[in-house]
Structure 1
């Protein structure tokens, strides 16, 4: 219990104090006109209040991510609390802040365009492809799951449910952001928060106490904590998907000082939600063995449904249905909206795209492969989402580090977590079954080697930046 409550307090303190440091390092300027005004187009660029923007940002980045991921991560035991707190404050929220604010500074640019500015054209092309693939994978994974549940609780077949969801996707992707997303998403964001708070308060009055901190690996299958927990719990700690979503709200911000509340703040709220569901999963079934058995029976959706109904009764059942069906759908549609925006930026040099109807039509090329992927195994999709997601996060952190380096600012707030995440993804792909399936010691060794190579590259970038800054000072003198 103490560990859980202390973790919540630390997350709040992280927002109060560390977010201000991050904001100071970035250097906001409320006298600058934001893209919401300079590029007002009635589709993606339009002013929106920070309160509404924060709730939309939360729903865009969260959905069921901090719930399902936290439940799976709870299998490792209370050590998951450490990763959520440290990851969210020093990596995830920093990542989200720079993804959003760098987009604001660069006219609402999408994530791949920002990468290209600081890591080069080749990196931009590669990350553009990876990002669009991630968007399609996320949209497919967050469509297949809700469709399966919808078909199980209604007379609708799985295929009909898929068509209904995709019909909504098409409408949401084509309409201006203030027509659907701006109106109903704040409501769903509030539902996500209410659902988590209700479960969190209920946990405090359960007979079974929330376990306190132990560094022991409690995973029933004895899977290694490093680097698996960092891939399993992404939303709630750090998630590359967020860097593809932040530009959506960056195009609606009224002033730069709203960024701390919108981007850093939404990530901390998501971390608190993840903390609550991780604690619930650890507590409700007695131990991680009991949680494993429940996951084997009904998956994460079954865990959510069981906990919600048991703790909140009929209301819990309604919230569970809303959560497991509606929330991932709202994440899926913004994923497709982001992929449409990325395609617009990618094809702008080859096709005149000033007309809004042409931009809207680019939703179709990403909806078609997404629809196809919903027909294959959900667990297969989710395995590939995890690693791709954290590669995107790692690249965003390095992009932010280079940005700060070139500006002569305190880059360590981005470069240290970037180096850490390089080790995570470098180790995971060689160890994981969807990767090379190498022995664990070998995979760790390769991960260390990859991290060392990237660290050497960054040292050269530091020297290069110092030389440029020295030349600039000499020219001024």
Structure 2
């Protein structure tokens, strides 16, 4: 319990201390924001700050801080360190810079921002990279909640469910039979959210989803703190507790990729420009961008702790993840800490709302990326349909693939994008804040994530499957090369 509370306080303190430092270094101004300059009633719309924050949080808090945190928990309490320090010094910095630079550049999508500062070649790479990642995100954030929602309906309507008790005549429905139909409904919602103005659907329903998300987090945390079910929260250990052993499943770099969104996520940089088009003041960037990532870090911390606490050992957690998938683990944890009642249903709906509210804006962001790419104005619905229909069609096809395969490629693609955006932030701060040393804020996590991303793809089953004797030194060399290239592009130009 002590470890969890210390980690929780560190995340909150990180927002007020380091978040303030980052904000002061960037230097918000009184300049008019894109929402005020380009108000088009579709994507550029001034919204209340609380709505912008809530939308940003729900946009980025998909399955990553839940499924990823549970996956990371298999390595044991050491995952707390990555969630806390990764969130404060890498993830929140990444989200803040991607949002604020976009804000300064008329709300442009992240691919356009990167291309502006990193050159034409990187622009084309980022355009393709971003669209591929966003479609993968939209797909995994459709299949995951569809499965969970099907299980929820099956359990509440079937034998033993409280709806069944009320009706006194339960209809036995298998979750697997429901999933394809629920998936269709999810994609229909995604189509509408991708097409309609941001204030017509997303801004209206997100407060309800946000309430579910908050109830879920508080309910699970309360259940752990009060020892519901006789479970005891573990304390910190740096030991690798993965049941397959440290040699086969080393913490570096596997845990850093597995946790993904709970510490840093390149996907977030594709979402920040959406809200950069809705902010009314640059000074709101810290609570919206940095604050939303800290909030997601707290969600990840809660779920990582829940995974370690609910199961007797990391081996038991790993077995549960393998046998029933992360969706079943989420279901069991909600049932264990919240009970079979209205609170439990709201908690599980919160878990479902997280990915749905990221999946819808993933496809929306993909539409905006393509629109920026081809210079197509999006004020007319016919022009929005031109991009929305093929994007969702591809997502629907990919949804028939194995979820675990898509998730693994998403995780690596996600962290690689984060690396690129952090390097872009370092270049931007060097050029706009010369002599201040501001570039060092994203430079350090950019170097770290360069080593992580390269080492992982060399070592992972979906990568080259090389030994650690090769992947470790090559990963370090790659990070050094990135540093040298950065030095030549910026610092070296002064010599």
Please indicate the TM-score interval, normalised by the length of the shorter structure.
over 0.9
Aligned partner of 1:159 among 163, 168, 180: 180
Shift of 1:465: 4.8
Q: Which residue of 1 aligns with 2:11?
A: 11
What is the rounded CA distance, in whole Å, between the counterparts of 1:451 and 1:352 in structure 2?
Answer: 39
Matches within 5 A, 1:48-447: 48-152=47-151, 153-154=153-154, 155=173, 157-206=178-227, 207-222=230-245, 223-313=249-339, 314-348=341-375, 355-407=380-432, 408=434, 409=436, 410-447=438-475
Given the two structures, how large is their TM-score scaled by the length of structure 2? 0.91
Unmatched 5+ residue regions in structure 1?
Answer: 468-477
| CA shift digits 1:122-158 (9 cap, x unpaired) | 1011011011101111111111222334445455643
Shift of 1:353: 5.6
What is the rounded CA distance, in whole Å, between the counterparts of 2:145 and 2:212 in structure 1?
Answer: 17
Q: Which residue of 1 aligns with 2:160?
A: none
Shift of 1:316: 4.5
| CA shift digits 1:167-224 (9 cap, x unpaired) | 1111111110001110111221232122111111221121433211111000111210
Q: Which residue of 1 aligns with 2:45?
A: 46
What is the rounded CA distance, in whole Å, between the counterparts of 2:261 and 2:85 in structure 1?
Answer: 13
What is the rounded CA distance, in whole Å, between the counterparts of 2:207 and 2:489 in structure 1?
Answer: 42
Q: Secondary structure at the match of 1:85?
A: helix
What is the rounded CA distance, in whole Å, between the counterparts of 1:15 and 1:177 in structure 2?
Answer: 28
Q: Is the 8 A contact 1:308 1:316 kept in 2?
A: no
Q: Is the 8 A contact 1:173 1:337 kept in 2?
A: yes
| CA shift digits 1:30-72 (9 cap, x unpaired) | x210000111000010101111111111100002221111111
Q: Which residue of 2 aligns with 1:470?
A: none
What is the rounded CA distance, in whole Å, between the counterparts of 1:266 and 1:329 in structure 2?
Answer: 17
The 1:193/1:149 distance shift into structure 2, 3 A limit, reads: closer
| CA shift digits 1:92-130 (9 cap, x unpaired) | 000000010011000000000000011111101101101
What is the rounded CA distance, in whole Å, between the counterparts of 2:338 and 2:386 in structure 1?
Answer: 43
What is the rounded CA distance, in whole Å, between the counterparts of 1:296 and 1:464 in structure 2?
Answer: 50
Q: Is the 8 A contact 2:215 2:347 kept in 1?
A: no
Structure 1 segments, 4+ long, off by >6 Å, are none
| CA shift digits 1:233-289 (9 cap, x unpaired) | 111210000000011111000100100000000000110111111111101111101
Q: Secondary structure at the match of 1:368?
A: helix
What is the rounded CA distance, in whole Å, between the counterparts of 2:343 and 2:468 in structure 1?
Answer: 41
Q: Secondary structure at the match of 1:47?
A: coil
The 1:264/1:353 distance shift into structure 2, 3 A limit, reads: closer
- Of residues 131-140 and 199-208 in structure 1, the stretch that sits farther from structure 2 once superposed is 199-208
Matched residue count: 464
The 1:352/1:216 distance shift into structure 2, 3 A limit, reads: closer
Q: How much is the aligned-residue C-alpha RMSD, in angstroms?
A: 1.5
What is the rounded CA distance, in whole Å, between the counterparts of 2:351 and 2:14 in structure 1?
Answer: 29
Shift of 1:13: 0.7
- Of residues 362-371 and 308-317 in structure 1, the stretch that sits farther from structure 2 once superposed is 308-317
Q: Is the 8 A contact 1:406 1:465 kept in 2?
A: no
The 1:464/1:221 distance shift into structure 2, 3 A limit, reads: same
What is the rounded CA distance, in whole Å, between the counterparts of 2:453 and 2:267 in structure 1?
Answer: 15
What is the rounded CA distance, in whole Å, between the counterparts of 2:380 and 2:331 in structure 1?
Answer: 45
Unmatched 5+ residue regions in structure 2?
Answer: 155-172
What is the rounded CA distance, in whole Å, between the counterparts of 1:218 and 1:309 in structure 2?
Answer: 25
The 1:353/1:42 distance shift into structure 2, 3 A limit, reads: closer
